[in-house]
Amino acid sequence: MACHDAQTVVRLDRVSKTYGSGESAVHAVQDVSLELAPGRFYILMGPSGSGKTTLLMLMGCLLKPTSGSVFLFNEEVSALGEGKLPRVRREKVGFIFQGFNLFPALTALETIEATLNLKGLRGEAAREKARELLTHLRLEKRFHHLPEDLSGGEKQRVAVARALAGDPPIILADEPTGQLDSKSGRLIVEVLRDLAHNEGRLIFMVSHDTRILGLADRILEIDDGRLKDQS
């Protein structure tokens, strides 16, 4: 499993993201500087429209900043051409989304196996790794179930397993408990915390759920695109 000794995994240096121009410009992220370490679980809070998801997408190389620099493991990924960014995302970042984003025609096992195929692992090796990941998330009895046959919490655990495929050192989670009841939501957050503490991954989660803040190593708050450190 992932274990990295670097002191800083993600570094943002005066990063801003603006959509549009002139009077209609939206300053989604404004002058954010931040350093994130491995083995820690971060939660980013903020109201709707505060810039949470934009900041997450900048970290995950899904967006490029309007100004400033984004570094992953001391590589300035914000300076890379579009053709090189898929490699960074494939090797370094796993994503978890609120809406699960599971293919309805694929079982849990097939979903993870297909993701591993995209990352270069194929055949029985991919199948065995998929079983291992799902078992780790207590889904060993759900290997052959389609999404329609899974509960919300089970779907999100499949999504977590998919994010872990390929062993990325960085996991970015966008409101992963947003569609879950409190018990299922807390289970997902506990899983993410354990991935940070036990496997040395950097876990960065966007949320508005104040009930799970006690599980974070560090809480950050963003409002009007500007970052505030809460703990």
Q: How does pLDDT run across 192-206, given as a tens digit for each residue? A: 999 999 999 999 999
Residue 5 has pLDDT above 80, yes or no: no
User: pLDDT tens-digit profile of 83-116?
Assistant: 999 999 989 999 998 788 899 999 999 999 999 9
In angstroms, the CA 101 to CA 217 distance is 28
User: Which pLDDT belongs to residue 231?
Assistant: 55
Say how many C-beta atoms besides its own lie within 10 A of residue 156's C-beta. 29
In angstroms, the CA 209 to CA 46 distance is 10
Residue 11 has pLDDT above 90, yes or no: yes
User: pLDDT tens-digit profile of 32-88?
Assistant: 999 999 999 999 999 888 999 999 999 999 999 999 999 999 999 999 999 999 999
In angstroms, the CA 4 to CA 125 distance is 24
Average pLDDT of the chain to the nearest whole number: 91
In angstroms, the CA 217 to CA 42 distance is 6
Q: Is the pTM of this model over 0.75?
A: yes
What average pLDDT does range 126-149 have in this prediction? 95
Q: What is the CATH number of domain 38-61+81-229?
A: 3.40.50.300
Distances (CA, A) of 21 to 48, 120, 140, 214: 22, 41, 51, 40
Domain map of the chain by residue range? 38-61+81-229
